[in-house]
A and B are shown apart, each in its own frame.
Chain A
Amino acid sequence: MAKYLLLKHYRGAPASVNDVPMDQWSPEEISAHVQYMNDFAARLEKTGEFVGGQALAAEGAWVRYDGAGRPPVTDGPFAETKDLIAGWMIIDVDSYERAVELAGELSAAPGAGGKPIHEWLEVRPFLAAPPTITE
Chain B
Amino acid sequence: MDEVLLRSLTPSVLTVLVRRGADFAAAEDAVQDALVEAVRVWAADPPRDAKGWLITVAWRKFLDATRADAARRRREDRVEEEPAPGPTPAMDDTLQLYFLCAHPSLTPASAVALTLRAVGGLTTRQIAEAYLVPEATMAQRISRAKRTVSGVRFDRPGDVATVLRVLYLVFNEGYSGDVDLAAEAIRLTRQLAARIDHPEVAGLLALMLLHHARRTARTSSDGSLVPLAEQDRGRWDTALIAEGVGILQAALARDRLGEYQAQAAVAALHADASAAEETDWVQIVEWYDELARLTDSPVVRLNRAVAVGEADGARAGLAALAVLDASLPRHAAVAAYLHERDGDLATAARLYAEAAHKAPNLAERDHLTRQAARLNARRGQ
Residue of A nearest to B220 (CB): A31
For the residues of B in contact with A, the DSSP-based class is helix
Beta-carbon contact of B358 and A29 below 8 Å: no
Whether A30 contacts B358 in the complex (CB less than 8 A), given A25-B373, A35-B222, comes out as: no
Beta-carbon contact of A22 and B369 below 8 Å: yes
Beta-carbon contact of A24 and B376 below 8 Å: yes
For the residues of A in contact with B, the DSSP-based class is helix
Note all chain B residues with C-beta closer than 8 A to A23. 349, 352-353, 356, 369, 372-373, 376
State the total of A-B contacts with C-beta under 8 angstroms.
44
Beta-carbon contact of B369 and A31 below 8 Å: no
Interface residues of B in 171-192 (CB under 8 A from A): none
Encode contact with A along B357-381: 1 for CB under 8 Å, 0 otherwise.
1111010011001101110110000
Note all chain B residues with C-beta closer than 8 A to A30. 366, 369-370, 373
Assembled-state Cα–Cα distance A18/B224 (Å): 25
Question: Whole-angstrom distance from the CB of B104 to the nearest CB of chain A?
Answer: 27
Assembled-state Cα–Cα distance A59/B372 (Å): 19
Question: Whole-angstrom distance from the CB of B20 to the nearest CB of chain A?
Answer: 45
Beta-carbon contact of A58 and B357 below 8 Å: yes
Residue of A nearest to B352 (CB): A23
Beta-carbon contact of A26 and B362 below 8 Å: no
Whether A24 contacts B373 in the complex (CB less than 8 A), given A34-B222, A35-B222, comes out as: yes
Note all chain B residues with C-beta closer than 8 A to A24. 373, 376
A55 proximal to B (CB < 8 A): yes
- What are 9 A-B contacts defined by CB distance under 8 Å? A23-B353, A23-B369, A26-B373, A26-B377, A27-B374, A30-B366, A34-B222, A58-B358, A59-B358
